Amino acid sequence: MTRLPIRMTVNAENVELLAEPRSHLADLLRGELLLTGTHTGCEHGVCGACTVELDGAPARSCITHAGACDGATVRTIEGFEGDAVMAALREAFTAEHALQCGYCTPGMLVMARDIVLRLPDADEARVREELSGNLCRCTGYRGIVAAVMRVLDRRRGLAGPAASRAA
């Protein structure tokens, strides 16, 4: 079978690999590069579990064709060590009990970081709307939204528990 040569930057490292034509980015990350922090759920673009940063924006790696990634810059959940916003989100997810099984969490965190940086003035309704493409089967979303609001409030210089607003 003909394989596609792919060159990418993944978590600040240059990688070269050969991809099967029908494969998607999540296949490459998990199967070839063993970056299993990127989860797959629905594998047709609905649940958001596979969300990674692709050329600076969140993308669903399960519907991103491997061949379209040649030359791309990818950051997976493993690539955010040392990132202050991600560290704040991780702390807030813990404080607000924003995960149970954790399956959705890598995708939630990548999406949440994008919200915090792109929409610094977002209110709770906007956060819920922005997160609506990331499904969680455990938490009921209250804690997740509260965690994102906690980080947004801190960055806006506002104190106080976000959880009380996020019911």
Q: What are the residues binding ligand FES (CB under 6 A)? A: 40-43, 45-50, 60, 62, 99-104, 136-139
Q: Between residues 31 and 41, which has the closer beta carbon with respect to ligand FES? A: 41
Shortest spacing between CB 27 and ligand FES, in angstroms: 11
CB of 75 to ligand FES, least distance (A): 16
HEC-encoded secondary structure of 99-149: CCCCCCHHHHHHHHHHHHHHCCCCCHHHHHHHHHHCCCCCCCCHHHHHHHH
Pick the closer one to ligand FES by CB: 48 or 79: 48
Closest approach, Cβ 100 to ligand FES, in A, equals 4
Helices (H) and strands (E) in the chain, counts: 5, 5
Helix (H, G, I), strand (E, B) or coil at 60: strand
Question: Which of 120, 140 has the CB closer to ligand FES?
Answer: 140
**Lookup: tokens for 75:** 């950051």
Query: Quick one: how far is CA 80 from the chain centroid?
Result: 10
Residue with tokens 């596979």: 50
Choose between 5 and 45: whose C-beta lies nearer to ligand FES. 45
Comparing CB distances to ligand FES, the nearer of 6 and 47 is 47
Cβ 118 to ligand FES, closest distance in Å? 20
What's the CA gap between 119 and 116, in Å, rounded?
Answer: 6
Amino acid at 128: R
Smallest Cα–Cα separation from 135: which of 14, 5, 39? 39
Nearest-approach distance from CB 158 to ligand FES, in angstroms: 27
